[in-house]
Amino acid sequence: MSDTTHAPDDGPILIADGVHRSFGGVRAVDVEHMEVERGSVVALIGPNGAGKTTFFNVLTGFERADGGTWRFEGHDVSGQAAYAAARVGMVRTFQTARVFPRLSVLDNIRLAAKDQKGEHLRSALFPWVWRRQEAALGERAAELGRWVGLGDKLEDRAGTLSGGQRKLLELARGVMAAPRLLMLDEPMAGVNPALRQLLLDKIRELPGEGITVLFVEHDMDVVSAISDVVVCMAEGRIIASGTAGQVASDPRVIDAYLGGSSGDLRDMADELAPVVDELYADGRTPDSTDSDGTDSDGTDSDGARP
């Protein structure tokens, strides 16, 4: 295997270089360099439209890149199809949970398993092999269902779950796929406060299970609670990375949030409001300087009639 340059337990688990993708004139993703440290929990933040989901889509083969390379576990996986990315251990969830509503919670989880030997001809000839495997998968799926707090809903149709419970189900499905890197796109969106803490705790447990986490999140409390590293994107680029504290106080990050019209990271903007007020407390409000002195009502001023 000529492209295996790192020992599996060595170095960053994901390294991306020069990854870009445009839609029409919009440079949705323009990432010069990004690394994800093995065993870490990394948050990807940024205002609406910053390119976070598109970056996820490109890395996991759900969207093509216009250019760039990315290596996962030392293998060049640039431009590979989604199933190939998942097979090597890059598994992602979606901003809007994707579940099979008519299937039970348990079956939803079970179907996320990869490498089901029952699908292979050789195993089909030896049914006891896949029967044993099916039983093991069922047990694992039930275990993960209980792990995310859906133990009493395993037989319910997934379509009956609330939005928040679907997010929990998605997490269980993600883990069932035995990822090395689990990429979660807004795992907390729509999750009520009671379930949020559970979800947070579960995500924090993943590195202990050998799963590195890269997740998109808007809520800075969530980000600070569980991230080792925070990376901020704006207009497709990575503009800052570091601890939650470092990134939240980075002027480029503050500019990106306040400059945009998205109103995102509202908490952060709210916290900053008093600072901005103080800055302009001497009366120099940003729009009090009508410098050109034009009178919007000037049409009245000449008063002349023909």
Tell whether residue 237 is a contact of ligand ATP (CB under 6 A).
Answer: no
Q: How far is the CB of 185 from Mg ion (least distance, A)?
A: 6
Q: Are strands 41-45 and 229-234 parallel, antiparallel or unpaired?
A: parallel
Q: How far is the CB of 264 from ligand ATP (least distance, A)?
A: 7
Burial of 7 (0-12, 13-18, 19+ CB in 10 A): exposed
| Residue from the set 20, 52, 153, 237 that interacts with ligand ATP by CB under 6 A | 52
Nearest to 141 by CA among 129, 133, 202, 255: 133
x/- letters, 91..130, toward Mg ion (CB under 5 A): ----x-----------------------------------
CB of 60 or CB of 104, closer to ligand ATP: 60
Would you say 59 and 16 are in contact if contact means Cβ atoms under 8 Å apart? Answer: yes
Q: Residue with CB nearest Mg ion? A: 53
Would you say 266 and 48 are in contact if contact means Cβ atoms under 8 Å apart? Answer: no
Tell whether residue 53 is a contact of Mg ion (CB under 5 A).
Answer: yes
Q: Which among 46-54, 86-94, 141-149, 205-213 is the span making contact with Mg ion, rule CB under 5 A?
A: 46-54
| Residue from the set 19, 43, 46, 268 that interacts with ligand ATP by CB under 6 A | 46
223 vs 44: CA distance, rounded Å: 9
Tell whether residue 48 is a contact of ligand ATP (CB under 6 A).
Answer: yes
**Coil, helix or strand for 291?**
coil
Q: Please name the amino acid found at residue 192.
A: N
Give the footprint of Mg ion on this chain (CB under 5 A).
Answer: 53, 95
